[in-house]
């Protein structure tokens, strides 16, 4: 077990930043240390949210505009939290989530140009205060990430076409990179920026030590009278 209140870790970054590899390596390391780990992803992670994932990534919702997409991402997130994330945290488990609310802030808020009050309202209803204990921002120049993502798509499934969000131009990806870095600068308590161009073993070691520090901090807070209680 991580702590009595569980541990919520999200991974963020652009396409091809290596989030899934790092989630797998962190899950292995934490399980080897005796933790119960749930790995999950957004959009998706619960049956209801996976249905919305299909609608969103196929591009079926695109015709209805970015506001509709933002609402669907928020709905998927609310279901994912209710059905998977909060129950796992209540059992004291570690949740590793591939993308979370920062992806909405960046993809829908920054590059989708959705007005901040709507983004804030969606965030309030979808997450209701359940924020990650730590968010690892895997940072990479957009061009390198896109090349990696394209190579992966070509290798993994012949004829695989990029999803609706991968198709967008390089400058949009650069804006998103900056969007994640801006969030990390605004919320240094929660966010850690990781240089995703380094060797993957090195990245994995850095991430594990960051997460261990957070586990130790939460355990200390827990012993100091439960200040670490979740909303």
Q: What is the binding site for ligand TYD (CB under 6 A)?
A: 15, 19, 41-43, 57, 73, 98-99, 103-104, 107-108, 163, 165-166
Cβ distance to ligand TYD smaller for residue 6 or 43: 43
Q: Least separation, in Å, of the C-beta of 113 and ligand TYD?
A: 13
Question: Please, which residue, 74 or 89, has the CB nearer to ligand TYD?
Answer: 74
Rounded to whole angstroms, the Cα distance separating 109 from 90 reads 30
- Closest to ligand TYD by CB, 19 vs 177, is 19
Other Cβ atoms within 10 Å of 156 Cβ, number: 8
Rounded to the nearest whole angstrom, what is the least distance from the CB of residue 22 to ligand TYD in the complex? 12
- Least distance CB 92 / ligand TYD (angstroms): 25
Q: How far is the CB of 187 from ligand TYD (least distance, A)?
A: 17
| Residue number with CB closer to ligand TYD (35 or 53) | 53
Contact call for residues 183 and 101 (beta carbons, < 8 A): no
Closer residue to ligand TYD (CB): 172 or 219: 172
Place of tokens 């205060």: 129
Sheet architecture: strand order including 7-13: 37-41, 94-98, 7-13, 134-139, 191-195
Contact between 138 and 11 (Cβ < 8 Å): yes
Distance of closest approach, residue 1 Cβ to ligand TYD, in angstroms? 27
Dihedral through CA 72, CA 68, CA 118, CA 231, nearest 10? -10
φ, ψ (nearest 5 deg) of residue 113: 60, 30
């Amino acid at each position: 077990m991580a702590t009595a209140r569980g541990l919520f870790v999200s991974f963020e970054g652009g396409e091809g930043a290596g989030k899934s590899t790092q989630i797998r390596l962190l899950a292995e390391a934490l399980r080897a240390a005796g933790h119960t780990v749930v790995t999950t992803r957004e959009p998706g992670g619960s049956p209801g949210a996976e249905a919305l994932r299909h609608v969103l990534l196929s591009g079926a919702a695109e015709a209805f505009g970015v506001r509709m997409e933002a609402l669907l991402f928020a709905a998927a997130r609310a279901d994912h939290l209710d059905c998977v994330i909060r129950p796992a945290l209540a059992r004291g488990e570690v949740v590793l989530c591939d993308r979370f609310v920062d992806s909405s802030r960046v993809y829908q808020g920054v590059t989708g140009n959705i007005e901040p009050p709507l983004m804030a309202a969606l965030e309030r209803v979808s997450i209701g205060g359940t924020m990650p204990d730590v968010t690892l921002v895997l940072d990479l120049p957009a061009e390198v990430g896109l090349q990696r993502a394209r190579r992966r798509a070509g290798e993994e499934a012949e004829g695989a076409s990029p999803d609706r969000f991968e198709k967008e131009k390089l400058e949009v990806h650069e804006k998103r990179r900056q969007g994640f870095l801006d969030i990390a600068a605004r919320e240094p308590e929660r966010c850690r920026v990781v240089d995703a161009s380094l060797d993957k073993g090195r990245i994995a070691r850095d991430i594990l030590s960051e997460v261990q520090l957070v586990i130790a901090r939460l355990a200390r807070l827990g012993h100091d009278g439960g200040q670490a209680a979740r909303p």
